[in-house]
Amino acid sequence: MDGAFATKLLDHLQSGVVLLDPQVQICAWNQWMTRHTELTFNDVVTKCIDAVFPEIVHSRLQDCIQQALYFKLSSMLTPALNPAVLPLYQKPSNRNLSQRIEQLIYITPIPQDEEVFCLIQIQDMTATVRRERRLRAQSTNLIATTYRDALTGVGNRRRFDHDLGAFFSDAYRKQQTIALLMIDIDDFKAYNDHLGHLKGDDCLMKVATTLQEGLRQRGDCVSRYGGEEFALPLPDTDIDLAYSIAERLRQLIETLEISHPASRTMPHITVSIGVSALIPKVGQNMTTLISQADQALYQAKDAGRNRCIRYTPELNTAPKELVLQH
Ligand SMILES: Nc1nc2c(ncn2[C@@H]2O[C@H](COP(=O)(O)OP(=O)(O)OP(=O)(O)O)[C@@H](O)[C@H]2O)c(=O)[nH]1
């Protein structure tokens, strides 16, 4: 194969080819490079690559070129870790409107007699990178949907199970307290029966949003446990702090003053909250914490609703009036 044919071959490649001599000067530059830079072979020949592309100075690409020339090491720069290293454009005449080509770059040492040349090959990965970004965005969206309650927008039961499971394991490992709030709207059946299911749905949305927005710790997430019941797992939180959070949330719902003409307690929507907390021991699991919060919630309902009750071990056995801490 003669030199002219080799040049023709390079010019037909669907990727960029640049060859550097041992002095880092350009000695080959194919048509693909011209198409995406508007620089011809004559514009760049014998110039140092960093004179043509000043932005590669101190870049990873410059390191790789030197490793190829001095240590005969090959490398690859992927678009994920090295976004658009070289100023290559689909339409270099209009750089403002044209995005940089996403590049996969191979740097290969080419020993020749006593010297080493450096071959740079560039592949256009723009379509692949865009497709990956789109897929990643879709999958992030899908994960968010999987964990969101469709009606209220707060977490769903799957999110609750996931969060509580993770917090519980963490609390067991670190021997820290984990707390749980079970929050239930009072007399919600009567609300639905009086005002209709659509108003009921509206009310659920307002309560859910208020609970979520009432949380002060980033990462805390209210989930809809079922029907008109919400749950809030709280990592590294003792019973007193959990109780004060519960009380603040209860008051927030009360101050919404959503009219409830059929309530047995107040003329507006209220919630009852059961609070439990424990440091996980061998033989306990998250069901223990849920069951304790549930028992406290039943006590709150029994005691007249619109209140928070914390679980104490005596709740199981002692007469109610001795254990209610409201
Ligand atoms: N509008 C609406 N209502 C729901 C939804 N999910 C559950 N409910 C209603 O919530 C009501 C819950 O009623 P109950 O479990 O008897 O409890 P309650 O009337 O709130 O009484 P207490 O909890 O004892 O105060 C039922 O009437 C359910 O139909 C929902 O997505 N939308």
- Report the CATH number at residue 202: 3.30.70.270
ipTM: 0.94
What's residue 80's pLDDT? 87
Looking at the structure, do residues 12 and 158 belong to the same domain, yes or no?
Answer: no
Split into its structural domains, the chain has a count of 2
Check whether residue 158 and residue 124 sit in a common domain.
Answer: no
In this predicted structure, the answer to whether residue 322 has a pLDDT above a threshold of 50 is no
pLDDT value, residue 315 = 66
What the block records as the tokens of 162 is 């996931």
**Residue 176, CA distances (Å) to 132, 167, 245, 313 in order:** 40, 10, 18, 19
- Span 71-85, pLDDT tens digits: 999 999 999 888 888
Q: Which amino acid is at 97?
A: L
Q: Enter the pTM of the model.
A: 0.72
User: What CATH number does residue 16 fall under?
Assistant: 3.30.450.20
Q: Is the pLDDT score of 304 beyond 60?
A: yes
Choose the most confident range, by mean pLDDT, from 94-108, 165-179, 303-317: 165-179
Predicted local distance difference test score (pLDDT) of residue 326:
42
229 C-alpha vs ligand 1 centroid, how far in Å? 8
Protein residue whose Cα sits closest to atom 13 of ligand 1: 189
pLDDT per position as a tens digit, 180-237? 999 999 999 999 999 999 999 999 999 999 999 999 888 899 999 999 999 999 999 9
Tokens of 255: 């101050």
* pLDDT, the chain, mean: 93
**Ligand 1 first shell, C-beta below 6 A:** 151, 184-190, 192, 197, 200-201, 204, 227-228, 301, 305
Q: Is the separation of the CB atoms in 23 and 11 below 8 Å?
A: no
Alpha carbon of 207 to ligand 1 centroid (Å): 13
Residue 307's domain spans which residues? 151-323
